[in-house]
Structure 1
Amino acid sequence: MSAPVFAAEPAPGSAAAAAREHQLWIDEHARWNAEHLAAARRLEAIAAALRSHATSFDRYGDVLRAHERRFAKEGHVAPVRAAHARLLASHKAARAAHDRVMRETDDLERTMAADFAKADFLPK
């Protein structure tokens, strides 16, 4: 049985090598374009979640407002103080999650502005 025959690599610097490299660029750009469109769909889902009032972040807001009403009704009694202490840890976690979303949003916005909106990928 004979060994399989593979196409020889084109000589570096040859027209065939340049054509092969160019085709790889075309294929890679097409993949990037598909990935950008998929990313856009993912970002649309994220934006919809941010606009939604069905997230745990929004339910946390409901808990805060309920606590405020309870405080106004019952005063600063022991059970309300205990609930207030429990809310402190929750509030720190909510603040950390919010800050992370804001940092990552800022980073994506900077990347889009610097690398895609204004960058000129055309050869000079």
Structure 2
Amino acid sequence: MASQTYDFLDHRKGDTFAGVQFTIVKNGSPLDLTGASLRMEMRELTPTGSVGDTFTDDSDGGLTITDAANGVITFDEQVVDILAMLYYYDIEITLSNGDVKTYIVGTWIIIQDVTQPAT
């Protein structure tokens, strides 16, 4: 199966991202993610650039398998406070049988905020 492209809407550095949910579908049916794990890397400017941030489905890792049987994952609500620039990302899924698949890829532009935290 080819990866699906999802380009996030531009987001302002330091603001709370509302989260987004994906359903992983294979051959027209939700992919069972029972026993799977998730990993997402955001890379600066190019798909091979420096790693800007990494998210996992570990505790407080930023990704959650929301409904394993129905293939639903969530990139959680969280404050995004990384350098302002264009990022390329993908979400890698390690299935329970050990197969590693990338079903979601895309870009995300983080915009510099103007107001800085009070000191």
State the TM-score, normalizing by the size of structure 1. Answer: 0.19
- Report the structure number with the largest CA radius of gyration: 1
Q: Which has the higher contact order (CA 8 A, sep 6+)?
A: 2
Q: Which has the higher helix share?
A: 1
State the TM-score, normalizing by the size of structure 2. Answer: 0.19
Q: Which has the higher strand share?
A: 2
